[in-house]
């Protein structure tokens, strides 16, 4: 169970996140939506422990994988990138790369990929490892409809394999509908609405 109580993040005198209470069940898939600047990345970074809240308490697993909003590549090929932290899983790396339709690029220098290709590769680099909590910041922001569909499928497979909890931010309804069972809408750092995506579970 992930639990946040009275969590706030304040920059200068501006409160950018204010969450009095939030619980996420183990195994849940939560989409975070909301306008630019509404606090999605801030919440994900706090859950990933790359950012400290200014107040409140957070209970979340230590075993976290986090995809930042801006994907990046390390030096080396696409395959080298996916094998980072999973050196002995070459077969699985190639399978993940194939699922993302990146096989033709496996030996290409990762730093020369297009934005969308890099986003898919960054996701492969994460999904090769199991975790208890998967945090994805706009994982399909650079992807077309087909790429988004590939990510939906890869996430479903990963979830079936690991039984992890997933929290992702997105502006893409296609991803929310396919990959989330709960939609939290943020507005000015606060939870505006919080309900099941489809069918609506009250
Ligand atoms: N280091 C910082 N210093 C000052 N303000 C910050 C800092 N980081 C974030 N903010 C502010 O906090 C607010 C929330 O930012 P956040 O990145 O969480 O939004 P977001 O919902 O992820 O937006 P987007 O959809 O554009 O990614 C924004 O108004 C942003 O300007
Ligand atoms: Mg963001």
Cβ atoms within 10 Å of 178's Cβ, excluding its own: 18
Identify whether 92 is part of a domain.
no
Residue 100 lies inside a defined structural domain of this protein: no
Q: What is the model's pLDDT at position 199?
A: 54
User: Is 150 contained in some domain?
Assistant: yes
Count up the domains in the chain and report the number.
Answer: 1
Q: Which domain holds residue 144?
A: 2-74+129-195
Report the separation in Å between the CA atom of 10 and the middle of ligand 1, taken as the mean of its atom positions: 11
Q: Pull the structure tokens for residue 201.
A: 């579970």
Query: Residue 70 falls within a domain, yes or no?
Result: yes
Which residues of the chain fall short of a pLDDT of 50?
201-202
pLDDT digits (tens, 9 = 90+) for 74-97: 999 999 999 998 999 999 999 999
- Alpha helix stretches (DSSP H) within the chain: 40-48, 78-83, 90-99, 115-127, 145-162, 173-179
Residues comprising the chain, all counted: 202
The reply to whether 116 falls in a domain is no
Give the per-residue pLDDT at 85: 83
Q: 3-state class of 79 per DSSP?
A: helix
- Residue 198: predicted pLDDT: 59
How many A from CA of 153 to the centre of ligand 1?
A: 29
Residue 89 lies in a domain: no
Question: Taking ligand 2, which is a single-atom ion, which protein residues have CB atoms under 5 Å away?
Answer: 40-41, 69
Whether 178 maps to a domain, the answer reads: yes
- Kindly state whether residue 23 falls inside one of the protein's structural domains: yes
Tell me how far apart the alpha carbons of residues 93 and 78 are, in angstroms, rounded to a whole number.
10
CATH classification of the domain holding 142: 3.40.50.300
How far apart CA 72 and CA 54 sit, in angstroms, is 28
């Amino acid at each position: 169970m992930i639990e946040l109580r009275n969590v706030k993040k304040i920059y200068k005198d501006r409160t950018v996140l204010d969450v009095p209470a939030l619980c996420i069940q183990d195994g849940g898939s939560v989409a975070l939506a909301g306008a630019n600047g509404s606090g999605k990345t801030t919440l994900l970074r706090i859950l990933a422990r790359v950012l400290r809240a200014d107040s409140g308490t957070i209970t979340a697993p230590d075993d976290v994988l986090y995809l930042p909003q801006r994907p990046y590549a390390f030096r080396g090929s696409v395959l080298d990138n996916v094998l980072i932290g999973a050196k002995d899983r070459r077969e699985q790396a190639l399978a993940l790369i194939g699922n993302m339709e990146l096989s033709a690029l496996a030996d290409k220098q990762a730093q020369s990929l297009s934005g969308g290709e890099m986003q898919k590769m960054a996701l492969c680099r994460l999904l090769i490892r199991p975790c208890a909590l998967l945090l994805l910041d706009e994982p399909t922001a650079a992807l077309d409809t087909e790429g988004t569909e590939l990510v939906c499928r890869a996430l479903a497979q990963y979830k079936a394999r690991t039984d992890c909890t997933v929290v992702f931010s997105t502006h893409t309804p296609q991803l929310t509908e396919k990959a989330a069972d709960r939609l939290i809408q943020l507005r000015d750092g606060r939870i505006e609405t919080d309900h099941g995506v489809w069918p609506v579970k009250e």
